[in-house]
Amino acid sequence: MCSEPVNSARLARVRTEVTTDVCQIHDMDTTSATSSRRTLLMGAAAATTLGLFAAAPSASATDKQPAPRPAFVPEPVRTVDAGPRRVAVTFDDGPHPDYTPGVLRVLRRHRVRATFCVVGSEVEKHPQLVRAIHDAGHMIAGHSWSHPDLRRLNPDEVAEQVDRNLAAIAKVLPRYRVEWFRAPYGGWSAEVMGALSASGLRPLGWSVDPRDWSRPGADVIAERVRGALTTGSIVLNHDGGGERDQTIAALEVWLPEALSDGYRFVHPA
């Protein structure tokens, strides 16, 4: 084995290089910490892109800096995939004593199953209507506690809206497992998706919006649904949050027509 002869000049050079390297390492402490933090944040964003929502780091770990917003927000489910001419109808903002019973009567008459996205504060006021919805075989989904625009809330407030909504439903139906959640106004955000992921909920959107909440007339509502309905559609209607007599009158028209056209109604899955 060969080796380079050692002499005093080379030893001096080595000492100088080592001393310089140590000083450089010392001076780079702050830069390395910053680089490490940047690497961690990039990793968190990448994880979110894959649909993962990790718990937020402690304040000491981020030096009290705002947590990075996820780079990608998953899309809610906007269609059903249950076969040809399979569709879903959903009702938001209830239950309401003036309108939910009327919706249930129309659905029962035509033997149609629907999904009711219920508001927690209304569930608390009208638990008997939630039981009636459940007993009729309909699906119950979450729709927040008080129907705010969740995009305007911080993560803790979003989580509270979701948790209180689920708690109100569980108080009435302790054995019922809520699988879906629809954000009020379709207001999806990274914070909303994170809260749903933490609660084991799936985001429910829609593909047909007749804007029944604006009360354009029952004929207009029915025509808007008829014109947009196709295989996989999820129809958005309302049974609360305002006057919904037009919604019920329109349902009496377009629902039997859809059945006559061969459509069958299913729950999101």
| Catalytic option among 138, 143, 238, 239 | 238
In a domain, 3, yes or no: no
122 plus 228 within the same structural domain: yes
166-182 tens-digit pLDDT: 999 999 999 999 999 99
Looking at the structure, tell me whether residues 227 and 178 fall in a common domain. yes
- Tell whether 41 and 122 lie within a shared domain: no
> Does some domain include residue 224?
yes
Taking residues 179-187, what's their average pLDDT?
A: 98
173 and 255 fall within a common domain: yes
Task: Report the distance separating Cα 116 and Cα 138, nearest Å.
Answer: 7
pLDDT of residue 74: 72
Q: Give the number of domains in the chain.
A: 2
Between residues 83 and 15, the one the model is more confident about: 83
Burial per residue of 36-75, b for 16 or more beta-carbon CB atoms within 10 angstroms, e otherwise: eeeeeeeebeeebeeeebeeeeeeeeeeeeeeeebeebbe
Contact 53, 71 (CB under 8 A): no
Q: What is the percentage of the chain residues whose pLDDT exceeds 70?
A: 73
pLDDT for the residue numbered 34: 37
Q: What is the largest CA-CA distance in the chain?
A: 102
**Annotation says 238 is catalytic:** yes
Q: Confidence class of residue 99 from pLDDT cuts 50, 70 and 90?
A: very high
Q: What separation in angstroms does the CA of 240 have from each of 13, 104, 165, 209? A: 83, 13, 16, 16
Task: Answer yes or no: is 23 within a domain.
Answer: yes
* Residue 114 and residue 52 share a domain: no
Is residue 78 a part of any domain in this protein? no
Query: Does residue 51 sit within a domain?
Result: yes
One-letter amino acid at 205 equals G
pLDDT band at 45 (very low <50, low <70, confident <90, very high): very low
Same domain, 58 and 167: no
Q: Residues 245-260: what's their mean pLDDT?
A: 99
Please indicate, yes or no, whether residues 92 and 220 belong to a single structural domain of this protein: yes
Nearest to 245 by CA among 206, 211, 215: 215
Asked if residue 190 is part of any domain, the answer here is yes
Res. 9: pLDDT tops 80: no
Dist. CA 22–CA 79, nearest whole Å: 61
Question: CATH number of the domain that 208 lies in?
Answer: 3.20.20.370
Condensed to tens digits (0 to 9), the pLDDT of residues 106-146 reads 999 999 999 999 999 999 999 999 999 999 999 999 999 99
215 lies in the same domain as 96:
yes
Assess whether 42 and 137 both reside in one domain: no
**How does residue 52 score in pLDDT terms, banded at 50, 70 and 90?**
very low
**Structural domain includes residue 70:** no
Q: Is the pLDDT of residue 156 over 60?
A: yes
Question: Quick check: bond before 95 cis, omega within 30?
Answer: yes
As to burial, measured by CB atoms within 10 angstroms (0-12 exposed, 13-18 middle, 19+ buried), residue 248 is buried
Whether 151 has a pLDDT exceeding 80, the answer reads: yes
Residues 234 and 159 in one domain: yes
Are both 199 and 99 inside the same structural domain? yes
Give the domain extent around 47. 8-62
Average pLDDT, the chain: 82
Q: Are residues 121 and 225 in the same domain?
A: yes
Q: Which residue is catalytic, options 92, 93, 212, 239?
A: 92
Query: Does residue 72 lie in a domain region?
Result: no
